[in-house]
Amino acid sequence: MSRILIVEDEKKIARFLELELTHEGYEVDTAYDGRTGLDKALSWQPDLMILDLMLPELSGIEVCRRLRHESDLPIIMLTAKDDVSDKVMGLDMGADDYMTKPFAIEELLARIRVGLKKRRASSAEPASAALVAGPLRLDPASYTVTWSNTPISLTKKEFDLLRYLMAHKGQAVTRDTLLSDVWGYDYAGDTNVVDVYVRYLRHKIDEPFQVKTIHTIRAVGYMFSYE
């Protein structure tokens, strides 16, 4: 479930967004001023932030500027009027998108979906940091996976799938998401391939080391976790 942080001081709008987004199945948290918004963006680690421009404590522009030092969280900025200079400043400070109030909720929902999709695509991109879960270590730079220093031999796709699951540790990921993010569009619809590769991974990691790292989440898909 994707997490969305709403930073909006107009309580009526914040409440409306909260209801709509919760109804859409998102996990939602709200802050009513810029400082709390910035804190929550860093501590709660949402997948996307809806950020009003005019805020008490810290303006939306300032929240954006400070956040960009530490995070590439997608930001959709809300502006009270169609003020071009505000919009340009927001985008300059690292906002990904903006909407002018009043807005149609359907349009905002569509932009949220785009923001989240970009986010998922970028988290599937190569990065050099190693992913570690207990004794399991996956190193994208050297393309190696080890369990307590014992090398595990994986094919390219097994490696990509494990990497994606480990990068989303503790999150249930749907088969469709795995297909589009790990396999790309060519395989759209054929979710069976995901189950097959999960089986391969379990055979190479869970079974030999007598652990359960890849969990089946009924009616959703899979989740990586290591206790």
DSSP state letter for 141: T
Applying CB under 5 A, among 3, 29, 35, 54 the residue interacting with Ca ion is: 54
If the CB atoms of residues 28 and 63 are measured against Ca ion, the closer one turns out to be 63
Q: CB under 5 A: which stretch of 48-56, 81-89, 152-160, 190-198 binds Ca ion?
A: 48-56
If the CB atoms of residues 78 and 214 are measured against Ca ion, the closer one turns out to be 78
Cis peptide before 102 (omega within 30 of 0): yes
- Whether residue 158 contacts residue 201, with contact meaning beta carbons closer than 8 Å, is answered with yes
If the CB atoms of residues 10 and 29 are measured against Ca ion, the closer one turns out to be 10
If the CB atoms of residues 77 and 205 are measured against Ca ion, the closer one turns out to be 77
- Whether residue 218 contacts residue 204, with contact meaning beta carbons closer than 8 Å, is answered with no
Q: How far apart are CA 204 and CA 193, in angstroms?
A: 17
Applying CB under 5 A, among 9, 24, 27, 206 the residue interacting with Ca ion is: 9
Q: Record the tokens describing residue 188, joined without a space.
A: 């759209």
Residue 27 Cβ, how far from Ca ion at the closest point, in Å?
23
Q: How far apart are CA 214 and CA 161, in angstroms?
A: 11
Applying CB under 5 A, among 14, 26, 34, 52 the residue interacting with Ca ion is: 52
> By rule CB under 5 A, what count of residues binds Ca ion?
3
Residue 28 Cβ, how far from Ca ion at the closest point, in Å?
18
For 7: left if phi > 0, alpha if psi spans -120 to 50, otherwise beta; the answer is beta
Q: CB under 5 A: which stretch of 38-46, 51-59, 88-96, 189-197 binds Ca ion?
A: 51-59
Residue 54 Cβ, how far from Ca ion at the closest point, in Å?
4
Residue 84 Cβ, how far from Ca ion at the closest point, in Å?
18
Residue 37 parent element (H or E): helix 34-43
Among 102, 45, 40, smallest CA distance to 74 is for: 45
Q: CB under 5 A: which stretch of 8-16, 89-97, 172-180, 205-213 binds Ca ion?
A: 8-16
**CA 89 to mean position of chain CA atoms:** 25
Q: Which residues bind Ca ion (CB under 5 A)?
A: 9, 52, 54
